[in-house]
Amino acid sequence: MSHLTYHNYRGVGERNQQNFRYSQAVRIGDRIECSGQGGWDPDTGEFYKEINAQIDQAFANVDLNLKNAGGKGWSQVFRVNSYHVPINNEALQGMVRNFRKWMPNHEPLWTCVGVTRLGEDDMRVEIEVVAHDPK
């Protein structure tokens, strides 16, 4: 699978690669697919407690992840999957607010799912994206 290039940003990205054996992003030609990003501080891994702060940070982590993989960030995202504990109007409004902030010029595909638990105890949101990065 030499046509695939894997990427992990410093801090949480490299820590999770070592501890859990997965990568934050993979580049396949002009496409970048990202593992789910949570509302953690990318250096320390600590989670923000408030849901809107977690959603805001998860969006910032997606941007960091895409750029670390050689992309330009949210402007290239065409697919978003989000997972929420719990799923409620506050979480949905936080997502839409960030869509408007990070993607003011386009509307991606979006699947939004409520789940009972995510990968870490304090995690309340996880956002996966797919981006198109033509070279």
Residue ranges of domains in the chain: 4-132
Please write the tens of the pLDDT for every residue from 1-14. Answer: 568 999 999 999 99
Amino acid making up residue 117: R
> What pTM was estimated for this model as a whole?
0.96
- Domain 4-132 class, CATH top level: alpha beta
Sheet with 31-38: strands ordered across: 4-7, 25-28, 31-38, 125-132, 77-84, 109-114
**pLDDT at position 20 over 70:** yes
Retrieve residue 133's tokens.
């990065």
